[in-house]
Amino acid sequence: GAVVSQHPSRVICKSGTSVKIECRSLDFQATTMFWYRQFPKQSLMLMATSNEGSKATYEQGVEKDKFLINHASLTLSTLTVTSAHPEDSSFYICSADTSGGAFWGETQYFGPGTRLLVL
């Protein structure tokens, strides 16, 4: 099956610094990628939808200036958490889609996630 990777898998940073997380589709081209955040024992919350070559669409309540998303190619999307604070500590997951976002389920391939801890 299709593979999506994320890097890094775990990152610890100081409050006020910026952190970049990469999401790559390794063996397919993804026109659409999604970024999620998951707090312990909470549901997966969609943060934004990233389309290659265009601006990301952010979900309500997600600060676009704080969570910068860049989808520069069909295989790479990046999420930058700017001026991170302890409340940004969470598990960040990306998914890559082969249907342009029209369908879900079997056309969505999730990355392994990135654990961010802000001290």
Q: Which residues contribute to the site for another protein (CB under 8 A)?
A: 4, 6, 41-46, 49, 59, 91, 93-95, 101-106, 108-113, 115
Nearer to another protein among residue 5 and residue 82 (C-beta): 5
In terms of phi and psi (left: phi > 0; alpha: psi -120 to 50; beta: otherwise), the region of 41 is left
Q: In whole angstroms, how close is the CB of 66 to another protein at the nearest point?
A: 20
Q: In whole angstroms, how close is the CB of 83 to another protein at the nearest point?
A: 26
Q: How far apart are CA 110 and CA 119, in angstroms?
A: 27
Nearer to another protein among residue 49 and residue 89 (C-beta): 49
Tokens of 74: 């069909």
Q: How far apart are CA 22 and CA 9, in angstroms?
A: 10
Nearer to another protein among residue 6 and residue 84 (C-beta): 6
Q: In whole angstroms, how close is the CB of 75 to another protein at the nearest point?
A: 17
How do strand 114-118 and strand 10-13 relate by DSSP bridges?
parallel
